[in-house]
């Protein structure tokens, strides 16, 4: 303690002034990445762990965001390990950040060193990639295990109008890069990174991982614990080879993944999730499962019963998931939402009227087809009653919509929407040429179809009531 310090604190002389050292100017990012080789020595008398530092890897003086070791399965020879390093440069924090990706490979020393302090691995900087218009978020080994999967986040985007009620939007993209130069692999498509637009700023993936069969990508958002949520993203798909017959990419990929999952007794929930998507046709699912059963039976004919039971279990899970999604979609009433999205302030948005015109046109054509099958069914019934046996071209699938309460209820709902939409548009005074054409097209389709929507609605209501009574009994 300095006893000569004056009592008057305000009158401190120059000898007692301590200059402030700007320590933040002395700190910064390390310009080297240090990697060590760890060797486990197992001897009879002792066990030891030996570490030998490798040559330092030079890197830019930016913020290091991620270090990932990846190992590529070898086609010939031993596996070759890689190290990816991601950096973000914020500059002076007045502009958009810039990202940089480094790829370092490790090769065995040939011939091996006999010195105990010389490592066997030699690092080598293979490629460097810079992103100025996007931010690098994550890096993984691709699903094919021979390339790199990166996630790039957009720096800007379009925010939809709140009245449009659009839930999801694209906040980034996933690309597959070649390992030797980090260039984009043209053999793979680009997959979007989707997010709920109400939490777009809080939905940046902080951590990602593959599903059990590498069919999907799961991410955890970089948000608070109370707002943390898991998102599931579709991965990029390999583009079809133009020299080979055109096949469904989903069928080819799902076939291989399901065969591997069934044979290894692992979970196939991620493949089921992809096949249960509303965008996948039922026939596509059937073709995929038939191919899976054929491949398993061909490899092990004696286990055909086992493979059949496994494939039937997967089929049950897929169609159960599809039915659940269909029920949810029906509860939300997608068609009612489509009309509501175009109906604002008691008027229809003429910019979206063509979408509803196309929907109404499709429905009128569908109803005409169903009524045509009803007429043919009546003619065939009367002809058969007189002893005839004509060759019927009747489509039984079209009549299912009229004999099941669920499908008949949906037809009634859509019929009511189309009738109200037609009546509303007929009263509108179109001021523009585009709106006038849309109005004329809709009235021409509905009025010239020969279908009385109001009378048909009453008939369908009676049929629906009778069907409910039959099923109730």
Write down the domain spans for the chain.
Answer: 32-234, 249-328, 338-380+394-472
User: 10-residue block means of pLDDT along the chain (473 residues)?
Assistant: 57 51 62 86 79 86 86 75 90 86 89 76 90 91 88 78 61 90 89 77 81 87 67 83 53 81 87 81 83 89 87 82 58 51 58 74 83 75 52 54 72 81 74 70 85 85 74 48
Nearest in space to 50 (alpha carbons), one of 127, 131, 118, 108: 118
d(CA 299, CA 280): 28
For residue 51, give the 3-state DSSP assignment.
strand
Residue 237: C-alpha distances to residues 172, 178, 187, 208 (Å): 16, 15, 9, 18
pLDDT score at 55? 87
Helices (H), 145-203: none
CB atoms closer than 10 angstroms to residue 267? 12
Dihedral sign, CA of 131, 136, 140, 143?
Answer: negative
Q: Is the peptide bond before 344 cis (omega within 30 degrees of 0)?
A: no
- Can you give the pLDDT at residue 176? 93
Backbone angles phi, psi at 34, to 5 degrees: -100, 125
d(Cα 414, Cα 439) in Å, to the nearest integer?
19
Of residues 373, 394, 457, 393, the one with CA closest to residue 422: 457
Look at residue 149 in the predicted model and tell me its pLDDT.
Answer: 93
98's CB contacts (< 8 A; 6+ apart) are: 88, 89, 91, 130, 131, 132
| Residue 393 pLDDT | 46
> Are 422 and 441 spatial neighbours (Cβ–Cβ below 8 Å)?
no
Closest CA to 400 of 369, 423, 379: 369
**What pLDDT, on the 0 to 100 scale, is given for residue 83?**
92
What pLDDT does 368 receive? 85
> DSSP readout, 404-456?
SHHHHHHHHHHHHHHHHHHHHHHH----SHHHHHHHHHHHHHHHTTT--HHHH
């Amino acid at each position: 303690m300095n006893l000569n310090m004056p009592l008057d604190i305000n009158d401190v002389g120059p000898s007692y002034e301590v200059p402030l050292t700007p320590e933040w100017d002395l700190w910064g990012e390390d310009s080297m990445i240090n990697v060590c080789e760890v060797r486990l020595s197992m001897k009879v008398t002792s066990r030891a762990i030996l570490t030998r530092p490798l040559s330092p890897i030079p890197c830019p003086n930016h913020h290091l965001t991620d270090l990932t070791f990846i190992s590529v399965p070898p086609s010939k020879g031993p596996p070759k390990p890689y190290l990816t390093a991601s950096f973000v440069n914020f500059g002076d924090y007045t502009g958009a950040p810039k990202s940089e990706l480094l790829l370092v490979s490790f090769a065995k020393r040939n011939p091996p060193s006999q010195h105990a302090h010389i490592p066997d691995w030699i690092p080598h900087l293979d490629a460097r990639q810079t992103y100025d218009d996007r931010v690098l978020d994550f890096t993984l080994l691709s699903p094919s295990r021979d390339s790199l999967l990166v996630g790039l986040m957009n720096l800007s985007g379009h925010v939809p109008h709140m009245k449009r009620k659009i839930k999801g939007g694209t906040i980034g993209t996933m690309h597959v890069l070649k390992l030797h130069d980090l260039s984009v692999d043209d053999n793979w498509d680009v997959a979007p990174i989707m997010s709920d637009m109400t939490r777009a700023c809080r939905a940046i993936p902080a951590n990602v991982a593959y599903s059990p069969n590498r069919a999907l990508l799961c991410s955890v958002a970089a948000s608070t614990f109370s707002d943390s949520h898991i998102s599931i993203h579709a991965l990029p798909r390999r583009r079809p080879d133009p020299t080979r017959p055109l096949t469904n990419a989903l069928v080819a990929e799902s076939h291989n993944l399901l065969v591997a999952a069934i044979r290894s007794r692992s979970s196939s929930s991620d493949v089921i999730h992809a096949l249960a998507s509303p965008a996948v046709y039922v026939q596509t699912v059937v073709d995929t499962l038939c191919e899976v059963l054929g491949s398993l039976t061909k490899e092990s004919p004696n286990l055909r019963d086992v493979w059949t039971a496994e494939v039937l279990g997967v089929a049950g899970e897929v169609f159960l998931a599809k039915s659940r999604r269909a029920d949810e979609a029906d509860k939300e009433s997608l068609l009612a939402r489509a009309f509501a999205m175009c109906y604002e302030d008691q008027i229809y948005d003429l910019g979206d009227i063509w979408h509803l015109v196309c929907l109404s046109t499709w429905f009128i054509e569908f109803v005409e087809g169903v009524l045509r099958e009803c007429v043919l069914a009546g003619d065939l019934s009367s002809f058969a009653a007189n002893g005839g046996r004509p060759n019927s071209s009747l489509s039984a699938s079209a009549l299912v919509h009229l004999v099941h309460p669920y499908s008949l209820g949906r037809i009634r709902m859509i019929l009511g929407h189309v009738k109200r939409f037609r009546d509303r548009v007929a009263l509108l005074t179109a001021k523009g040429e585009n709106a006038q054409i849309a109005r004329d097209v809709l009235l021409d389709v509905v009025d010239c179809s020969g279908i009385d929507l109001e009378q048909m609605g009453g008939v369908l209501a009676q049929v629906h009531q009778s069907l409910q009574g039959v099923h109730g009994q």
